[in-house]
């Protein structure tokens, strides 16, 4: 499943969804939605009002988006589905995700617009599905070399399990834990256990333990992934709700801000 913004013109995350579908001989479900913005009233006077004609036009644009979506995906008609509604995008996507194994989203969220856009933090933390987050200007995902950002948590274990289809096809998988200097022995034991678990699923992997440095852990993990020629980092997604807004934790937020390639996250 991939979310398409109503006014979207760039093809990035749709192209990545297409690449994943081709890799696994899967189908693609496109999802899009908009919510009706409340009238803006100042001193008893309506300054901005959404009219019936506005809603009709917006519905027509979403219906037309299906033609664009199917053209970009380029798969046989029976392997492509389009779903849209007049509904808050995040709520609609979280509900429709029940029909998918994997959700693909843009990782950038430059403005707060819950009426047309999906906040990636809200989506990842609510959907209950592994999510591939696609940065700007990325239109392909080979996933031939994959880095796993390991942390001994529930979310990281889910992420490794959810990523197994990708890991089984990868030519190189590296499991990395970044830890305090006095935890290196324990960290080596942990990543060896993960490697052994993956070996039972037919995945050959390497392990690497790094110590916290002056640079952020996210920057260090991205740098290591670049050195390995990876185009996918697999991690758990960490976050919480704050005053009704879903927010990512520091490491997760840092990866979204810094990674020039796709992230696969589970929560």
Give the span between the Cα atoms of 254 and 62, in whole angstroms: 33
Q: What sign does the CA torsion over 101, 67, 69, 4 have?
A: negative
At which residue do the structure tokens 């297409």 appear?
Answer: 18
Q: Give the pLDDT score at 88.
A: 94
- % of residues, the chain, pLDDT over 70: 92
Model confidence over 252-267: pLDDT tens digits?
Answer: 888 988 899 999 999 9
Q: What sign does the CA torsion over 96, 111, 138, 219 have?
A: negative
Beta bridge partners of 83: 31
- pTM of structure: 0.91
Beta bridge partners of 104: 2, 132
Numbered ranges of CATH 3.40.50.620 in the chain: 2-134, 145-266
Model confidence over 16-74: pLDDT tens digits?
Answer: 999 999 999 999 999 999 998 776 555 555 555 667 887 888 888 888 899 999 999 99
Model confidence over 157-175: pLDDT tens digits?
Answer: 999 999 999 999 999 999 9
Give the span between the Cα atoms of 7 and 65, in whole angstroms: 9
8 has pLDDT over 80 = yes
First to last CA, the chain: 17
Model confidence over 199-218: pLDDT tens digits?
Answer: 999 999 999 999 999 999 99
231 has pLDDT over 90 = yes
74: left (phi over 0), alpha (psi -120 to 50) or beta: left
- Phi first, then psi, for residue 71 (nearest 5°) are -70, -45
Buried b / exposed e across 136-150, counting CB within 10 Å, b at 16+? eebeebbbebbbbbb
| CA proximity to 16, closest of 232, 239, 196 | 232
Q: Give the pLDDT score at 39.
A: 61
At which residue do the structure tokens 């994943």 appear?
Answer: 20
Architecture category of domain 145-266 in CATH: 3-Layer(aba) Sandwich (3.40)
2-134 falls under which CATH superfamily? HUPs (3.40.50.620)
Q: Give the pLDDT score at 144.
A: 97
């Amino acid at each position: 499943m991939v979310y398409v913004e109503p006014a979207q013109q760039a093809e990035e995350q749709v192209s990545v969804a297409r690449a994943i579908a081709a890799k696994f001989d899967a189908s693609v479900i496109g999802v899009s939605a908009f919510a009706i913005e409340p009238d803006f009233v100042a001193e008893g006077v309506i300054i901005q009002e959404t009219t019936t004609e506005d809603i009709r036009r917006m519905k027509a644009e979403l219906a037309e988006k299906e033609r664009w979506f199917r053209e970009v995906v380029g798969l046989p008609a029976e392997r492509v589905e389009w779903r849209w509604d007049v509904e808050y995008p995040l709520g609609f996507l979280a509900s429709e995700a029940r029909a998918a194994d994997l959700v693909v989203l843009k990782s950038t969220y430059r403005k707060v617009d819950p009426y047309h856009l999906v906040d990636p933090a809200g989506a990842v933390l609510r959907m209950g599905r592994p999510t591939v987050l696609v940065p700007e200007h990325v239109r392909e995902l080979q996933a031939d070399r994959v880095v796993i950002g390991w942390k001994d948590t529930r979310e990281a274990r889910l992420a490794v399990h959810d990523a197994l289809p990708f890991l089984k096809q990868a030519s190189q998988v590296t499991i990395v834990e970044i830890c305090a200097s006095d935890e290196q022995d324990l960290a080596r034991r942990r990543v060896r256990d993960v490697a052994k678990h993956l070996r039972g699923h037919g995945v050959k992997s390497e392990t690497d333990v790094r110590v916290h440095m002056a640079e952020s852990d996210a920057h260090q993990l991205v740098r290591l992934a670049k050195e390995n020629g990876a185009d996918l980092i697999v991690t758990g997604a960490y976050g919480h709700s704050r005053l009704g807004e879903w927010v990512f934790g520091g490491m997760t937020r840092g990866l979204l801000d810094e990674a020039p390639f796709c992230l696969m996250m589970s929560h």
